[in-house]
Amino acid sequence: MIKAQRGTKDILPNEIMTWQEVENKARELFQGANYKEIRTPIFEGTELFKRGVGDSTDIVNKEMYTFCVGNNENSITLRPENTAGVVRSYIEHGMERLSPPVKLWYFGPMFRYERPQAGRQRQFHQIGLELFGIKEGTADAEVIIMASEFLKRNGIKDLYVSLNSLGCPNCRNKYKEEIKKALMPYLDNLCDDCKVRYEKNPLRMLDCKDENCKKIFEKEEIKNVILKDFICDECREHFEKVKEYLEISNIEYKIDKMLVRGLDYYTRTVFEIKSDSLGSQNAILGGGRYDGLVEMLGGKPTPAVGFALGVERLISLINKKEELKLDYFVVSTDTKEGIKAVNLLRNKGYSADFDFQARKFAKQIEKAGRVAKFALIIGEDEIKEGYFTVKNLETGEQKRITEIK
Ligand code: HAM
C-alpha cells in the first residue's frame, strides 16, 4: 500500500468543515480590516530564501526542499514560509508605488524538512499577513491585535503573547558582541549548532533547545548580559509605543528577552502567541517587524511587519465541527422522479442529494436521517396524486406539499 509521506497529512472530509471555518474567519476578519488576499506560488528560486530567510538559519541550512528539474539549471525550493515570497511579489508587481500601508494576507501550504512530531509536520499550512510601508509602532500593534482577535474568534483561550525587541542592526551588533564575549569561556561546552551560531548568528543561540546550552545561558554572568537592556533610544521609544498601543487595546503580553525567532530578517519587534496546551511546539503563531527585507531583496527601503499562524496547531485546539447536514435528501423508489426532484431542489438553492439506485424505502430513510434535515418523499401515492411528503428528520413530523418553493 502506498501511504502519505512522513510528516504530511490528508485533510479528510470529516475535518474539512473546521478548516473551512478557520479560513472563512480569516477572510472575514482580515478583509474587514482592509487586508487583501495574495496567493503566491508554492515554489520560488532558492536564492530568495537564502537571502530572505538567511543562510545561517536552520530553515535554510537543514529544512528546505530544494531541487532542479529538467534542463533548467535554476535551483528551486518549496516555500518554507511566505514572507519572502510575498516581499518578492510586492517588489515585482510595483506595490511599492501604492500609497502605504499595503496590507496583504495569505493562506497556504509551507514545506520544511523537519523531524515530524506532534505540532510539527513537513507540509503544514500557514495563515499570515504582512503590512508594508509603516514604520510606526501602530503597525506592529495592529498586526498583533489582528493575530489575537483571530484566535479569539476561533474560540482559543489560555493564550499569551510573548514580546521582545531585537533592536535595529546598529544596537543589535553591539549586543551580539557582548553575548559572544560573555560566552567565549564556554565555547567548547556549547552544542555543535551553537558553535556555528556563535560565529554566524549569535542571537540564535538563545533559542537553543539543548539542555547543556540552556544551563550555560542560565549562569548568572551570562544571564545578566542576555537580560541587558541593549536597544538604542529610538528602538526603545518605538517599543514603548508598541506596548502602549497593546495596553490600550487590552492585549496582555509578557516580555521575553530570550525570544529571538528563527528567521534572520527581523528588526525591532518580535512576538509569538503561545498556548501551553500545545506541548513542546507551543507557538500557534509568530511574527515581527522586518524593516530591511524589502531593500535586501532588491526593493526600495520599506518598513514592514507581519505574522504567520500554523493552521494545524490552531485546529488541534478547536473542537471538531459536526459535518453540516443537507437541507433535503430525496427518498424515492423511482430514480427518474428522484433526479427530477433533486434538480429542482438544487435549482431553488437548497442543498440536496438523492439515492442513486432507488434502494428500499427503509434504507433511503435511514440514510436521509444521517445526512439531511428533511426527507422529500416521493412514493407511489405521491406520484399518483401529484404531491410530495416532507418529513422533518429531527421531529418526525410529516406534511404534504404540492410545490417546492
Ligand atoms: P515561523 O515562526 O517560522 O514564522 O512560523 C509561523 C508558525 O507556523 C509557527 O508559529 C507554527 O505555528 C507554524 N509552523 C512552523 N513550522 C511548522 C511545522 N513544521 N509544522 C507545523 N506548523 C509549523 C514564519 O514563518 C514567518 N514567515 C512569520 C512572519 C510573517 N514574520 C513576519 N511575517
* Ligand 1 atom at minimal distance to the Cα of residue 313: 12
Q: Crossing angle, helix 233-248 and helix 137-153, to 10 degrees?
A: 40
* Ligand 1 atom at minimal distance to the Cα of residue 126: 8
Q: Which of 285, 294, 317 to mutate for ligand 1's pocket (most ligand atoms within 8 Å of CB)? A: 285
* Ligand 1 atom at minimal distance to the Cα of residue 263: 3
Give the single-character DSSP code of 120. Answer: B
User: Bridge-partner residues for 273, per DSSP?
Assistant: 161, 285
Q: Kindly state if the Cβ of 308 falls inside 6 Å of ligand 1.
A: yes
What pLDDT is attached to residue 71? Answer: 77
Q: Kindly state if the Cβ of 54 falls inside 6 Å of ligand 1.
A: no
* Ligand 1 atom at minimal distance to the Cα of residue 283: 10
What distances in angstroms separate CA 353 from CA 359, 367, 381, 396, 402, one per listed residue? 14, 11, 22, 19, 20
Q: Kindly state if the Cβ of 112 falls inside 6 Å of ligand 1.
A: yes
Q: Cis peptide before 169, with omega less than 30 degrees from 0? A: no
Tell me the C-alpha distance between 129 and 83, whole Å: 9
Report which of 138, 125, 149 is spatially closest to residue 15, judged by C-alpha positions.
Answer: 125
Q: Kindly state if the Cβ of 178 falls inside 6 Å of ligand 1.
A: no
Domain regions of the chain by residue span: 13-168+231-315, 171-228, 326-401
Q: How far is the CA of 60 from the centre of ligand 1 (A)?
A: 14
What pLDDT is attached to residue 324? Answer: 84
| Burial (CB count within 10 angstroms: exposed 0-12, middle 13-18, buried 19+), residue 281 | middle
270's grid cell: 518580535
Strands of the sheet with 102-111, listed across from one edge: 36-37, 102-111, 123-132, 304-310, 283-289, 269-275, 159-165, 253-255
Tell me the C-alpha distance between 150 and 107, whole Å: 14
The answer to whether the beta carbons of residues 314 and 156 sit under 8 Å apart is yes
> Can you spell out the DSSP letters for 130-150?
EEES--SHHHHHHHHHHHHHH
Q: Kindly state if the Cβ of 125 falls inside 6 Å of ligand 1.
A: no
The contacts of residue 150 (CB under 8 Å, 6+ apart) are: 25, 26, 29, 30, 127, 309
17's grid cell: 468543515
Q: Kindly state if the Cβ of 312 falls inside 6 Å of ligand 1.
A: yes
Instruction: Assign 67 to helix, strand or coil.
Output: strand
The answer to whether the beta carbons of residues 389 and 332 sit under 8 Å apart is no
Q: How far is the CA of 22 from the centre of ligand 1 (A)?
A: 17
Q: How far is CA 203 from the centre of its chain?
A: 25
Report which of 92, 90, 89, 64 is spatially closest to residue 78, judged by C-alpha positions.
Answer: 64
Q: How far is CA 80 from the centre of its chain?
A: 12
Tell me the C-alpha distance between 321 and 22, whole Å: 11
Q: How far is the CA of 272 from the centre of ligand 1 (A)?
A: 10
Give the other-Cβ count within 10 Å of 313's Cβ: 21
User: Bridge-partner residues for 381, per DSSP?
Assistant: none
Q: Kindly state if the Cβ of 367 falls inside 6 Å of ligand 1.
A: no
What pLDDT is attached to residue 228? Answer: 86
Residues in the chain: 405
364's grid cell: 433511503
Q: How far is the CA of 77 from the centre of ligand 1 (A)?
A: 17
Q: How far is the CA of 285 from the centre of ligand 1 (A)?
A: 6
Residue nearest to atom 4 of ligand 1 (CA): 286
What pLDDT is attached to residue 158? Answer: 85
Q: Kindly state if the Cβ of 50 falls inside 6 Å of ligand 1.
A: no
Residue nearest to atom 23 of ligand 1 (CA): 310
Give the single-character DSSP code of 329. Answer: E
Q: How far is the CA of 134 from the centre of ligand 1 (A)?
A: 23
Report which of 347, 334, 328 is spatially closest to residue 401, judged by C-alpha positions.
Answer: 328
Chunked mean pLDDT (size 10), the chain, 405 residues: 97 92 97 98 97 91 92 89 98 97 98 94 98 98 98 92 95 92 93 91 89 91 88 97 98 94 94 89 95 97 98 91 89 95 97 95 96 96 94 96 91
Domain 13-168+231-315: which CATH number of 2.60.40.10, 3.10.20.340, 3.50.30.30, 3.30.930.10: 3.30.930.10
Q: Grid cell 564556554 — which residue? A: 186
The answer to whether the beta carbons of residues 84 and 53 sit under 8 Å apart is yes
Q: Kindly state if the Cβ of 83 falls inside 6 Å of ligand 1.
A: yes
The answer to whether the beta carbons of residues 373 and 345 sit under 8 Å apart is no
User: Bridge-partner residues for 392, per DSSP?
Assistant: 374
What pLDDT is attached to residue 308? Answer: 98
Report which of 80, 94, 172, 81 is spatially closest to residue 132, judged by C-alpha positions.
Answer: 94
Q: Grid cell 503563531 — which residue? A: 285
Architecture of domain 326-401: 3-Layer(aba) Sandwich (3.40)
